[in-house]
Structures are given as structure tokens and as C-alpha cells.
Amino acid sequence: MAVNALRRAGPVRAGALVGVVLAGGEGRRMGPGAPKPVRRLGGQVMVAHVVQRLRPQVMDLVVVANDPHPAFRALDVPVIPDPPDILRQARREGRRLGPLAGILAGMEWALAHQPHAGWILTAPADVPFLPRDLTVWLCGHLHVDEPDVLTVRREHAIAIWSVRLAPDLRRAILEDGMRRVEDFARRHRHAEFAWPGGGSQFVNINTPEELAAAEARLAKSRLLQRNIKGRRTP
């Protein structure tokens, strides 16, 4: 018996998740110029691609960025910095903060603004081809006993985090000087899964060459979509 599967062309939403886009990296490998998240890609800033792919999949969305660049404010989503006390301590000690500070900022924002959510989904600002069914796939792995952290293999910043971890994460950053995402994840109940079919949707844009390759990939995808649409038009 043949079964007609429902084909979804757009994003799919699952669960009470708050999306957190991590846009605080320096992006020094990109060279001089605008911060990496606001480099142009396909006619808009790179972080906008991540926001557009993630926003329909979550109940709310926030971008964590310490840079006051006006392009962040044009995203039409809340933009917050890393926690101020953690920023001050890092500056006093002359050290850079890793993505854990942004994850903490997202957790604390969710607790204040969406207290019934319980979970955040983090993604860096430099993954413009983020899967449109990311939340469905990840939430499908939140079984009983559910983990505190669920990550995509080899992509530790793309993860679901219980907001209950916020106090311990704050201590880990302030008292232990922890910076690596995977180190903190492994302190808790942590599950990790490989994305089916490979990880091309999680490609990071770190250099001008990778940005040019992403531009070509996006142009090819748009041309293909136009051709498909043209064939469907009577």
C-alpha cells in the first residue's frame, strides 16, 4: 500500500524552546572589516539567515551580541549582551569570553521572559544553512530520562540546554574560568547525536573563502528553486 507523505517546504516548530543565536565571536579569521555576523551574504547580513531559519522553529528568539552594530538592531528580535558582571570580570582579567557566556545570557533571558519554556536552543550566527527541521529532530531525542544538554555531534554550540543549568553555568564561568562548551556539557547529563546524512547544513563561515563558497551555494540554491517554481507554473 502506497502512503503519500506530507512534504514540508518550510520550517517545522516543536516544543517550548527559546532560540538563542550566538553572535558574540570576534571572527578574526575573516580579516578586517565588519564583524563576521554582519558580513553580507546573499543580499543580507549572515546572522539574518540564521534568524530567519530558526525563528519559525521556536516560541521566542533572542540574539546575543556585544557589538552595537546597527545591523543587529535591524533583525527585529531582542538583542542582548553577555551578562554584564561576566563581561566586567573578563575585561579585568584581560581574557576573552567563549560561547558559554552567550549561552548563559540566553538562559537568563529565557528565565526572565519565557519562564515556562524550560529549554533553550543555541546556534552560532555563522551557520546560514541551518536545518529547517532542527527543533523537531533534536526534540525527538529528548527521551526519559531526558538529558540536561543535547548536542549535534561535532557542533557543540548547536544544542538544547535546560535553563535549570544557569546557576551552575554562572559559577563555572566566574569561579572556574570555564570557556569550552563541551567541557560544561559533560559536567551534566549530556547526549550527543550525529545529524543524519552528514553535516553540510552546519557549515561554519570563518574565512573570506568560505564566505565566497557560501555565496555560490546560496546562488545555486536560489536558481534551483526558481527553476522548480517555473516548471510548476501552468
45-49, 118-122, 193-197, 211-215: segment of lowest average pLDDT: 193-197
Q: The domain at 17-232 falls in which architecture?
A: Alpha-Beta Complex (3.90)
Q: What is the model's pTM?
A: 0.87
What confidence score (pLDDT) does residue 232 get? Answer: 62
CB atoms within 10 A of CB 45: 25
**All structural domains of the chain with their residue ranges:** 17-232
pLDDT at 3 over 60: no
How does pLDDT run across 159-177, given as a tens digit for each residue? 999 999 999 999 999 999 8
Look up residue 108 and give its amino acid.
E
99-113: buried (b, 16+ CB within 10 Å) or exposed (e) per residue?
Answer: bbbbbbbbbbbbbee
Which is nearest to 184 in space by CA: 202, 157, 146, 144? 157
Beta pairing, strands 155-162 & 149-152 = antiparallel
What confidence score (pLDDT) does residue 218 get? Answer: 87
Residue 184: all three cell numbers together: 560544561
Q: Residue 211 belongs to what H/E stretch?
A: helix 208-232
- Residue pair 169/184 in contact (Cβ under 8 Å)? The answer is yes
